[in-house]
Amino acid sequence: MSKRMPGRFKFFIGGSILGAITCYYLNKPRQLKEWSPITGPYTKDISPREKQWPPSVPIPFGYPGPINDAFPRKAYYASYNRQLRHPNWVFEHLTNESLKIGEGVDRKFSKFHEDPEIPAMFSAKLTDYYKSGYDRGHMAPAADARFSQESLNETFYLTNIAPQVGVGFNRDYWAFLEEFCRRLVHKELFTDVYVFTGPAYLPYEENGKLMPFHYACNWYVKYKLIGDPPNVAVPTHFFKVVLAVKNDDSQTSGKLYALDCFLIPNQSIPHNAPLENFVVPLNALERATGLKFFENLREKTVPLCEATKCVLVPPLRWMITLTQDDNF
């Protein structure tokens, strides 16, 4: 799909971008029980794949990786990057049922914590974020997972977290975008909203000037690291790929599928910046991240910002506090 973008931003994302991120493997066997937007009402066995792959490559003393751990949680599914110490992506399925608030569920019982399923040498640490200047930014928002205390608590695993600028981004514009996704269910009457959220690392020209593409050597991908030792990468951008579905008799399938991709710099964004300024073509985001989104459906979709108004409404202050970091 094609959307209008500011010329400078379109030029920026259209150049050389990151290579592919490879397959995702499960690290440990476990069972999923009870209902959740990700697993449904069934018990599902998750089999280990790390020891099975690759089955026939002649590496006699152990396969070195990469291992991209995948974690099905109650409210989301996360793919974790051991090198960058944050998610590759996190997937959510939002419905009226999943956005209900369970009895007794309270943010005060939830604490940020390291994920015990990640080997210590590859795990982000709470101390990595302490006084780093960055918030522990949720990929799957806590406000999306209040149907049980367990589902809420799971959003505070560091495998669902990446470093985000606090004021003006995580606590403001990014929180408004998260609320926009919930409003698609509550206010715009979409029955199902599927969201991929994750980090991106985009190139820029070293001296800050936009150059013709044949000057490729002037472009860099550069990002900060936090922690001691500095192992946790700070993304230059974050994305949300939003697919909203509703019943529509005018469509051959009986359903309307509306999709748009939002790519936002990890920096303070003015509250009045139009959300449509950050809409990017799906294939551009895929080139930037090495990922494929909704590949089997994309030909059936219409632009989300044509199917509904892409207008941000600040959430209630108490809802922002669900994800506001106490890191400072």
Annotated binding-site residue numbers for Mg(2+): 170
Marked catalytic residue, from 138, 186, 214, 237: 138
CA distance 144 to 181: 9
**End-to-end CA distance of the chain, in Å?**
41
Going by the annotation, the residues of the binding site are 170
Q: Which secondary-structure segment (H or E) carries 279? A: strand 279-280
Tell me whether residue 138 is one of the annotated catalytic residues: yes
Concatenated DSSP letters of 161-230: EEEE-IIIIIIIIHHHHHHHHHHHHHTS--SEEEEEEEEE---EETTS----TT-GGGEE----EETTTT
Strand, coil or helix: 238: strand
**Stretch (H or E) spanning 289:** helix 282-289
- The angle at the Cα of 135, spanning 118 to 119, to the nearest 5 degrees, equals 10
Active site residues: 138
